[in-house]
Amino acid sequence: MIFRTVLSALLLSSTTAFSTHNTHHPALLQSSSTSSVVTALRAAESEVNFGELDGSDLRIGVLRTRWNDEHVSNLVEGIKAGVTECKVPTENIFIKEVPGAYELPYAAKLLAMSGTVDAIICAGVLIKGETLHFEYISDAVTKGIMDVNLATMTPVVYGVLNCLDEEQVVKRSSNENGGHNHGEDWGKTAVEMAIMRQEALKGKGQKTGKPGQSELAALGFGGGGAGVNKEKPGFF
C-alpha cells in the first residue's frame, strides 16, 4: 500500500514537472520570455542593414493593388517612407493602381518598357482562404515579377505579402504593436538595386551612368535620341 502511494506521488510529480502548463518552472518562464522578446524584435526591426543610400536622382514607380486596400495602403506609406529616407524627391515617386496581385507583373512590364523609372515596387497582399486560389495566384505573381526583372533589366521589387491570416498581415504592414512595415525595406531595396543598375551600366552609355540608346534598344526600350527621356508616364 505504501509502495503504491509513493509511486503515484512520483508519477504525479513527474507529470507536473514536464507539463506544458507548468508556468512556475524558472527555466520555462525564461525560455518563454526570451522567445517572446526575440519574436517582438524581429517583427519591430528590419533584419537588413541598408546603410546610406543616395537616390536623389532616381525615379521610383510603385504599382499597388486595390485588393486588400487598407493593408496595401499601409505598405505604400512604408514604401514612401523608405524611399524618401534614401533622399528620393517626393515628386519622383509615382504610384499606379491595379485591381489585384495577378495584374502586377503585366503593369510592371509596361512600366519597365517605358524606360521612365529606375526601379519598380509591386505592392499587394494575398491572404490564404479555403480554396487553392491563394497558391495559384501567389505562384503566378512571384514568377511573373521575376520574369519582368530579367526580361527588362529593370529592378522590380517583390512587395507582395503572402500570409495565412490577417493578423500576420497587420504585423508586416504596420509599425504598431511590435510590428514592422515591410514597405520601408522594399523602398530602400528599390533604391539600392537602381543604384546597382546604374553602376553596372556606367561607361556603356552617357557619362551620367545612364544606359545609352543602343543598350536600351537591345533591352526592348523604344524612343529616339540619346539616353533615357524620363518624362512622367501618361498612365500615372
Out of 21, 25, 133, 182, pick the active-site residue. 133
Rounded to an integer, what distance in angstroms lies between the CA atom of residue 203 and that of residue 100?
39
- CB 233 within 8 Å of CB 216: no
Strands 119-127 and 60-65: parallel
Report which of 56, 55, 68, 81 is spatially closest to residue 175, judged by C-alpha positions. 81
Q: Clarify whether 21 is annotated catalytic.
A: no
Q: Is 98 helix (H, G, I), strand (E, B) or coil?
A: strand
The sign of the dihedral angle between the CA atoms of 75, 142, 188, 51 is positive
- Per-position b or e across 117-140, b if 16+ CB within 10 A of its CB: bbbbbbbbbbbeeeeeebeebbee
Neighbours of 38 (CB within 10 A): 10
Torsion of Cα atoms, 179 then 52 then 149 then 219, to 10° = 160
- CB 119 within 8 Å of CB 60: yes
Rounded to an integer, what distance in angstroms lies between the CA atom of residue 41 and that of residue 58?
32
User: What are the catalytic residues?
Assistant: 133
